């Protein structure tokens, strides 16, 4: 048996050496030889992390460094060189830290299984994901309240999740599935698919059906859960349904709430859209704006999915239309097509009338939308705020006001959840 294994190893080595020799003369063999070399180097780096081998990690990084230069990875090639140099200088500058790293303390065991350690920075990212869920910690820095909650509640939530996982896996094998005897027994049945499925050692869900691989869905797991959970009959007794203040806004379906589209606001919409582009990524024009109107803020950047920001932009232009027109006169039409279009729109007297109409009749909507979006707002207050907005919209006179009011009523009528 040992002779047979040694013969197989010898043949593999001969084949490998033959491939290396052929790679010197044939481009295709040379290409796959380089691919194999890169993959083996990456796997060596992964092994160093999974086995907490610091010396192997540094050696793997040294071998990976030329690949970053060859593949034109500018940032990685620059900073990896600095990182490798720092790691190689550790035994001289920080011998105590070197001994700690060599003891495997540059990684963290993810589970009790072997070969499951991960780098410390990766463990921080996974803790962030565990605490915040989808999206990680992105966006927390822009919201002070959310950042404070994350700082206080984050470690506690991570601790509870880890304790739950540890308690639910107390009886689990501290080995990889390849090391579990039951798995090994399933791998030693002569390669027969029928015999393999005959030695199933898991109660559920079954993986075979009549000697064939069974295709299943999530609904098949319900039969397993029925044995583990108590069956409940009848509907629960409910006396009230509690909805957050933001739920009132979410009841309005986005595809049906294009209220101002019913009114003829195309001029204003085009004016806001083009006015946004004039000073977007244009520092020279922003400088001109600040010189002429130093106390005036730059035009707002409305977001398409939040039409409250569109009304805020209309309020801005309605209040500062004269100053904005003075600034545009100092800009050259040839610099941007948006400047030329906005100047033409300013010549239309109906634009000024439309801006004044929206600002005077719907200027309270942005503040009301922000109020309804608060998570801690009581439902009663949210409904009162919503009813006040609807009453203000329906009281607007004129043809445009009537069309907006009718559209608003149709939107509310189409949302049955809001009626209930």
pLDDT, position 250: 52
Q: How many CA atoms lie less than 13 Å away from 373 in the CB half-sphere?
A: 8
Domain ranges across the chain:
1-105, 246-419
Q: Which residues contact 285 (CB under 8 A, 6 or more apart)?
A: 278, 279, 331, 335
Q: What is the pLDDT of residues 112-144, one digit of tens each?
A: 777 888 888 888 777 766 666 554 455 566 677
Nearest 5°: the CA angle 110, 113, 119 is 30
DSSP one-letter code for 180: S
CB atoms within 10 A of CB 228: 6
Q: How many CA atoms lie less than 13 Å away from 17 in the CB half-sphere?
A: 6
The token duo for 242 is 């509690």
CA distance 155 to 128: 9
Q: What is the pLDDT of residues 303-321, one digit of tens each?
A: 766 767 888 888 888 888 8
CB atoms within 10 A of CB 135: 10
Looking at per-residue pLDDT, the higher value among 226 and 246 belongs to 226
Going along 58-130, which residue ranges are E strands?
Answer: 107-109, 117-119
Percent of the chain with pLDDT over 90: 9
DSSP structure string for 345-411: HHT-HHHHHHHHHHHHHHTTHHHHHHHHT-TT--HHHHHHHHHHHHHHHHT--HHHHHHHHHHHHHH
Looking at per-residue pLDDT, the higher value among 17 and 391 belongs to 391
Q: Of 149-158, 188-197, 291-300, 407-416, which range is least confident?
A: 188-197
Q: Tell me: cis bond preceding 69? Omega within 30 of 0 counts.
A: no
Q: What is the pLDDT of residues 50-108, one digit of tens each?
A: 989 999 999 999 999 999 988 888 888 889 999 999 999 999 999 999 999 999 888 88
pLDDT, position 173: 47
pLDDT, position 379: 74
């Amino acid at each position: 048996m040992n002779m047979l294994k040694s013969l197989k190893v010898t043949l593999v080595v001969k084949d490998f050496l033959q491939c290396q020799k052929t790679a010197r003369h044939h481009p295709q063999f040379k290409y796959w030889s380089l691919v194999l070399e890169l993959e083996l180097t990456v796997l060596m780096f992964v092994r160093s992390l999974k086995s907490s081998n610091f010396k192997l990690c540094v050696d793997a990084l040294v071998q990976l460094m030329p690949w970053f230069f060859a593949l034109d990875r500018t940032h990685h090639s620059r900073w990896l060189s600095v990182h490798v140099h720092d790691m190689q200088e550790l035994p001289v500058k920080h011998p105590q830290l070197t001994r700690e790293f060599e003891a495997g303390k540059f990684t963290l065991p993810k589970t009790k299984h072997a070969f499951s350690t991960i780098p410390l920075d990766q463990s921080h990212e996974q803790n962030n994901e565990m605490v915040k869920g989808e999206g990680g910690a992105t966006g927390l820095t822009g919201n002070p309240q959310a950042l404070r909650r994350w700082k206080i509640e984050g470690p506690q939530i991570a601790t509870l999740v880890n304790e739950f996982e540890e308690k639910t896996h107390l009886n689990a094998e501290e080995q990889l599935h390849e090391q579990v005897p039951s798995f090994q027994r399933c791998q030693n049945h002569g390669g027969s698919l029928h015999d393999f499925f005959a030695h199933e050692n898991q109660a559920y869900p079954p993986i075979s059906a009549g000697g064939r691989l069974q295709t299943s869905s999530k609904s098949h797991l319900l039969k397993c859960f029925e044995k583990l959970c108590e069956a409940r009959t009848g509907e629960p007794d409910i006396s009230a349904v509690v909805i957050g203040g933001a739920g009132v806004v979410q009841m309005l379906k986005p595809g049906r709430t294009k209220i101002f589209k019913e009114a003829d606001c195309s001029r204003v919409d085009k004016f806001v859209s083009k006015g946004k582009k004039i000073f977007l990524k244009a520092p020279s024009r922003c400088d001109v704006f600040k010189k002429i109107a130093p106390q005036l803020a730059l035009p707002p950047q409305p977001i398409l999915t939040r039409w409250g920001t569109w009304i805020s932009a209309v309020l801005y232009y309605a209040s500062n239309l004269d100053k904005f027109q003075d600034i545009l006169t100092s800009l050259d039409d040839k610099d941007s097509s948006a400047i030329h279009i906005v100047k033409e729109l300013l010549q239309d007297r109906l634009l000024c009338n439309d801006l004044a109409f929206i600002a005077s009749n719907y200027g309270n909507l942005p503040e009301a939308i922000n109020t309804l979006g608060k998570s801690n707002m009581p439902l009663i207050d949210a409904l009162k705020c919503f009813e006040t907005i609807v009453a203000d919209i329906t009281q607007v006179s004129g043809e445009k006001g009537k069309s907006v009011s009718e559209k608003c009523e149709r939107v509310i009528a189409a949302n049955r959840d809001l009626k209930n």
